[in-house]
Structures are given as C-alpha cells and as structure tokens.
C-alpha cells in the first residue's frame, strides 16, 4: 500500500516537470509559441513557483499525519521533500543559465545588490543540509541534531516566500495564499501535539 502511494505521489509530483519538458520541446521547434516572449524567464519562474508549492506540501506532511492519525502519511515526507529540493535546485540552475550564464561576477553582483536574489539563495542554502541528511542512515547518525538541522525548513520557506514576493510584487494574491498556508501549518505544528484531535 505504501509503495503504491509513493508511486502515485511520484507521478503527480513529476507531472509539472514533464509538462515543462514538453513545453520546452515545443518552444525549440516553434519559438515563442509555448513559453512566451522570454522562455528563459518563464522556465525560471515556473520552477520557482512549483518549488515553493511542493516545499509547502512537504511542510504539510507532519500536521496532516497528526491530524488524521495516519503514520502512512509521514512516510511520504522524504519523497515530497526531495522533490521540493529538485524543483528549487532546477530553479537555481535555470537562473544561473539564463540570467548570469554561469559567470561568477554577475552572480555575486546579483547576490549583493538584489535583495530577492539574496533571499532566494538563502532559502536554497537552507535546503541543502536537509536534502543531504534526509536518509534514515543520517537520521540515526545525527540523532537529536537531525531535528535541529531539519528545522531549517522554517527559514527556507520564509525566505522562499519573501523571494517570490519581492520578485513578483504585483501578484500579492498568490503570495498571500503561500503566507496563509505557511502560518496555518506553523500553528498546527504547535497546536496538534496537545490537541484532542490526535488522542
């Protein structure tokens, strides 16, 4: 049952990436028909938006597990978290490719002079140790320190939302959804352990 759920979840989380690959293929064959006037920007934004959504989804796993008293939900956490890291990593490397062409000086200028870039890179850096230590083996080795490392999810999501807001300051509606989602999850994480819901 768990394996089947993971397969379904893997397929669902892969769907946006598959859609993007198809759109890129169409764009290569017929420029500006699939991704608009600036395909590079479209790719970067698409990956970033899905990165935030899946990151919030991974943050939702523990509250959902406690709310419904279903241990099986908790077993999806690592898969969803790694997918979030993949999307955010692809977003970062797409930025490096399309915007700074993997050049160090333009990258450093962006990092220093553009606050939204600084916030985005900060979120990505927070995710790296979490992805590296996501296995059961690392959890056994690190013990209590493992939980401390994985609390980086809080600043990672906060910085990702700030990055998105500063980048798309006129699209406050979508940002508001992410902020509310994040705040509700934080409240649930602190409230559910002592709530009657899980007794």
Q: pLDDT digits over 91-137, tens only? A: 999 999 999 999 999 999 999 999 999 999 999 999 999 999 998 88
Q: Where are the domains of the chain?
A: 2-198
**Check: CATH 1.10.10 for 2-198?**
no
Residue 163: which of 108, 196, 126 has the closest Cα? 126
Nearest-angstrom CA–CA distance, 76 and 58: 8
Using an 8 Å Cβ cutoff, are 95 and 102 in contact?
A: no
pLDDT at site 192? 66
Per residue in 36-62, pLDDT (tens digit) is 889 999 999 999 999 999 999 999 998
Segment 84-95, tens digit of pLDDT? 999 999 999 999
| Residue pair 67/79 in contact by the 8 Å Cβ criterion | no
pLDDT above 90 covers a percentage of the chain that reads 68
Helix (H) or strand (E) holding 116: helix 115-132
Instruction: For residues 171 and 186, give the distance between their C-alpha atoms in angstroms, rounded to a whole number.
Output: 23
């Amino acid at each position: 049952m768990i394996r089947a759920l993971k397969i379904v979840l893997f397929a669902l989380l892969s769907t946006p990436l598959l859609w993007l690959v198809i759109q890129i293929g169409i764009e290569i064959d017929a420029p500006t028909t699939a991704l608009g006037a600036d395909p590079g920007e479209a790719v970067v934004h698409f990956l970033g938006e899905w990165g935030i959504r899946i990151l919030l989804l991974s943050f939702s796993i523990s509250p959902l597990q406690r709310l419904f008293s279903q241990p099986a939900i908790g077993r999806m956490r690592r898969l969803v978290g790694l997918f979030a890291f993949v999307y955010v990593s692809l977003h970062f490397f797409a930025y490096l490719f399309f915007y700074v062409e993997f050049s160090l000086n333009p990258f450093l200028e962006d990092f220093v002079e553009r606050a939204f870039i600084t916030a985005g890179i900060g979120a990505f850096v927070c995710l790296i140790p979490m992805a590296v230590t996501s296995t059961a083996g690392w959890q056994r080795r690190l013990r209590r320190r493992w939980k401390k490392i994985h609390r980086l999810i809080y600043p990672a999501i906060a910085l990702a939302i700030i990055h998105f807001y500063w980048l798309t300051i006129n699209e406050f509606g979508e940002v508001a959804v992410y902020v509310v989602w994040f705040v509700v999850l934080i409240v649930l994480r602190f409230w559910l352990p002592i709530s009657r819901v899980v007794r």
